[in-house]
Amino acid sequence: MYEESADRLVTAAADGEDQAVEAALRPKLLDEFIGQERVREQLSLVLQAARKRGSAPDHVLLSGPPGLGKTTLSMIIAAELGAPIRITSGPAIQHAGDLAAILSSLTEGEVLFLDEIHRMSRPAEEMLYMAMEDFRVDVIVGKGPGATAIPLELPPFTLVGATTRAGLLPPPLRDRFGFTGHMEFYAPVELQRVVHRSATLLDVEIDPAGAAEIAGRSRGTPRIANRLLRRVRDYAQVRHDGVVTAEIAGQALDVYEVDARGLDRLDRAVLDALLRLFGGGPVGLSTLAVAVGEEAETVEEVAEPFLVREGLLARTPRGRIATAAAWQHLGLTPPVQTPPVQTTRGSVPPQPELFPADGS
Ligand SMILES: Nc1ncnc2c1ncn2[C@@H]1O[C@H](COP(=O)(O)OP(=O)(O)OP(=O)(O)O)[C@@H](O)[C@H]1O
Tell me if 42 sits within 8 A of 178, measured CB to CB: no
- 57 domain-assigned: yes
Provide the pLDDT for residue 319: 95
- What residue owns the CA closest to ligand 1's atom 7? 69
- What residue owns the CA closest to ligand 1's atom 9? 69
Q: String of b and e for 175-195 (b: at least 16 CB within 10 Å)?
A: ebbebbbebebbeeebbbbbb
Q: Are residues 71 and 150 in the same domain?
A: yes
Residues 318, 320: Cα–Cα separation, whole Å: 7
- Residue 298 falls in the annotated catalytic set: no
> What count of other Cβ atoms lies within 10 Å of the Cβ of residue 319?
17
Would you list the DSSP string of 34-86?
-S-HHHHHHHHHHHHHHHHHTSPPPPEEEESSTTSSHHHHHHHHHHHHT--EE
Of the three residues 228, 255, 282, the one that is the final residue of a domain is 255
Q: Are residues 157 and 214 in the same domain?
A: no
Tell me if 181 sits within 8 A of 45, measured CB to CB: no
Tell me if 307 sits within 8 A of 313, measured CB to CB: yes
Q: String of b and e for 124-151 (b: at least 16 CB within 10 Å)?
A: bbbbbebbbeebebbbeeeeeeeeeeee
Number of domains present in the structure of the chain: 3
Query: Model pTM?
Result: 0.87
Q: Are residues 243 and 167 in the same domain?
A: no
Provide the pLDDT for residue 303: 92
- The DSSP 8-state label assigned to residue 131 in this structure reads H
Which range of residues forms the domain containing residue 215? Answer: 188-255
- 312 domain-assigned: yes
- 310 domain-assigned: yes
First to last CA, the chain: 42
Detail the residues annotated as belonging to a binding site for ATP.
25-26, 67, 70-72, 133-135, 176, 186, 223
Is the shortest distance between the CB of 35 and ligand 1 below 6 Å? Answer: yes
Q: Are residues 110 and 201 in the same domain?
A: no
Which residues are paired to 162 by β-bridges? 62
- 28 domain-assigned: no
Provide the pLDDT for residue 339: 61
- 148 domain-assigned: yes
- Residue 51 falls in the annotated catalytic set: no
* CATH code, domain with 91: 3.40.50.300
Is the shortest distance between the CB of 66 and ligand 1 below 6 Å? Answer: yes
Residues of the chain with pLDDT under 70: 1-7, 338-360
- Report the chain's C-alpha Rg in angstroms: 25
Is the shortest distance between the CB of 320 and ligand 1 below 6 Å? Answer: no
Detail the residues annotated as belonging to a binding site for Mg(2+).
71
Q: Are residues 75 and 168 in the same domain?
A: yes
- Residue 52 falls in the annotated catalytic set: no
Residues 127, 190: Cα–Cα separation, whole Å: 39
Provide the pLDDT for residue 338: 62
Helix (H, G, I), strand (E, B) or coil at 268: helix
| Tens-place pLDDT, residues 111-122 | 999 999 999 999
- Residue 70 falls in the annotated catalytic set: yes
Provide the pLDDT for residue 206: 97
Q: Amino acid letter at 346? A: G
Of the three residues 255, 281, 299, the one that is the final residue of a domain is 255
Q: Are residues 71 and 175 in the same domain?
A: yes
* CATH code, domain with 318: 1.10.10.10
* CATH code, domain with 224: 1.10.8.60
- 295 domain-assigned: yes
Q: Are residues 137 and 90 in the same domain?
A: yes
Q: Which residues contact 145 (CB under 8 A, 6 or more apart)?
A: none
Helix (H, G, I), strand (E, B) or coil at 172: helix
Q: Are residues 205 and 326 in the same domain?
A: no
Provide the pLDDT for residue 31: 93
Residues 34, 339: Cα–Cα separation, whole Å: 53
Q: Are residues 54 and 175 in the same domain?
A: yes
Is the shortest distance between the CB of 220 and ligand 1 below 6 Å? Answer: no
Q: What sections of the chain are H helices per DSSP?
A: 16-25, 37-53, 70-81, 96-104, 122-134, 171-174, 188-201, 208-216, 222-239, 246-255, 265-272, 285-292, 296-298, 304-309, 324-329
70 phi/psi in degrees, rounded to 5? -70, -45
The ipTM is 0.96
Q: Are residues 175 and 243 in the same domain?
A: no
Q: Are residues 133 and 271 in the same domain?
A: no
- 149 domain-assigned: yes
Helix (H, G, I), strand (E, B) or coil at 182: strand
